[in-house]
Structure formats: structure tokens, C-alpha cells
Amino acid sequence: MNAKTVKLSVLSWNVRGLGDASKCKVVRDLIQSLKLDIVCLQETKLRAVDERRARAFLPPNLSLFRCVDASGSRGGILTAWDPRAVLLHSFIARKHTLSLAFTSTTSDAAFTVTNVYAPSDHRDSLAFLLDLEEIAAQISGNWVIAGDFNLTRGASDNSSGAVDTRLADAFNDSIHKLGLIDIPLLDKLFTWSNHRDCPSLARLDRFFFNAEMSTAFPNSTLVSAPKPL
């Protein structure tokens, strides 16, 4: 992202658990290689994160963080940032979202980043969308919403073409109601796989900007990170 002379690099990643030491090293090494300013992690599966534990999967430059604890072994959201790049002013933590209001350290650019890990149980999806709309009422100015929404917008978001039209319509209605712009992923169609021999693929992970953010950072692009070894 960039606004005038401000350039920021942001990563959103469903890490599918950070309880294993070798997995934490893989996550830390990839994040460090990308030289990021802000990282949004989903599905940490961590019920509590202190400084010592965070150092297992975050590189030294991402020295500050906020999180939403997992419920048992489910969920968990963490957003970390480089204090040389951005300063935190306030945050809102909910069950499925973590919203942090930042300003750039090199300009007066201000924006809120909402990290999303939506429920995988679709019986809770409509409640999640309503909660997202409630959060929007508390946020003004530039807004980024990134993460794993566990929802698709239509048949093209699934390799099989299957779609739950009721949920897709509800998701699209919320996007339109909030005036969000779906940032296109430039280098792939899908972001999730069931990792079977003949895998099912889907686009569950997204970056959205509101209109103000799109105007402030008009040259923003979204690409996938390299697959960890």
C-alpha cells in the first residue's frame, strides 16, 4: 500500500495453528523474509500469547502485537506491527475480529486494520456479518478488512462451482452495505485447499478497502506470498 510517500507492506495469513515449534519457525522465517510492517494472523489456536511465545513465530521488527485468544483449540487472531512504521492508537477486540487504529510514523496517514477469522460453522455466519456491520459503525476514515472470511461470493470462488447462494447473497449484501472494495488477487484464483489428491479449492481469504482507503492508497496491490518450504 502507499499514500503519497507512505509505503506499507501487510500480510494476512491463516496459519492453521501455532502450537508446534517447527511450524512457528516456518512462520517466523517467511514473515522475516518478506520485510513486513503489519501482519494479520488467523487460526493461531493459541489461548494466550505472551512476549516469549510471540517471539517463536514473529521476527524482531514486529515487536508489538494484540490478539484475540482461541476458544480451546479453535480460532485465535493476532495482529503484529513494526513500531518504526506505525503507531497504535486504539483497538476493538471481538470474537471473530480484531480492529487496530494506526497512524504512519512518517506522515499523517491514519487507517484502521480489521483482522478477520470468521466462523467455519456456517450456522454462525449471519451473526458474524451483523457483527461486522456493528464494528463498521465504530470506525471512521481509512479502513482495511483482511483475513479468512470462510465465505465465498459466488460460484467462481470454488473450483467445483458449488455455492450456498443464501450465504453468498448475505456476504455480498454486507459488502455492498459497508461500501467495501474487494481488492483483486493478482496471481491466483483460490486461497484455500483441502490438500487431497484431487483437491477442492476455494477463495476464502480477502482484502477489502473502504472508499476512503482506496482513495488514500490508490496504488495498492494484492499478491500471494510464497509457499513456505
The Cα 60–Cα 49 span in angstroms is 16
- Calculate the average pLDDT of the chain: 95
**Half-sphere exposure of residue 69: CA atoms within 13 angstroms, side-chain side:** 6
**Residue that the C-alpha cell 476514515 belongs to:** 141
The CATH number fitting domain 2-216, selected from 2.40.50.140, 3.90.245.10, 3.20.190.10, 3.60.10.10:
3.60.10.10
Name residues whose C-beta falls within 8 Å of residue 9's C-beta, 6 or more positions apart in sequence: 1, 34, 35, 36, 37, 38
- pLDDT for position 227: 82
The residue ranges of every structural domain in the chain are 2-216
Residue of 76, 115, 95 lying closest to 207 (CA atoms): 115
- Give pTM, 2 decimals: 0.95
Q: Report phi then psi at 40, rounded to 5.
A: -115, 115
The Cα 18–Cα 55 span in angstroms is 12
Amino acid at position 170, single letter: A
C-beta neighbour count of 5 within 10 angstroms: 9
**Residue that the C-alpha cell 477469522 belongs to:** 117
**Half-sphere exposure of residue 48: CA atoms within 13 angstroms, side-chain side:** 2
Convert the pLDDT of each residue in 202-211 to its tens digit. Answer: 999 999 999 9
Q: 2 falls in which pLDDT band (50, 70, 90)?
A: low
Name residues whose C-beta falls within 8 Å of residue 122's C-beta, 6 or more positions apart in sequence: 150, 164, 167
Asked whether 62 and 80 are in contact (CB, 8 A), the reply is yes
Asked whether 148 and 205 are in contact (CB, 8 A), the reply is yes
| Overall average pLDDT of the 41-69 stretch | 97
Convert the pLDDT of each residue in 14-44 to its tens digit. Answer: 999 999 999 999 999 999 999 999 999 999 9
Asked whether 81 and 88 are in contact (CB, 8 A), the reply is yes
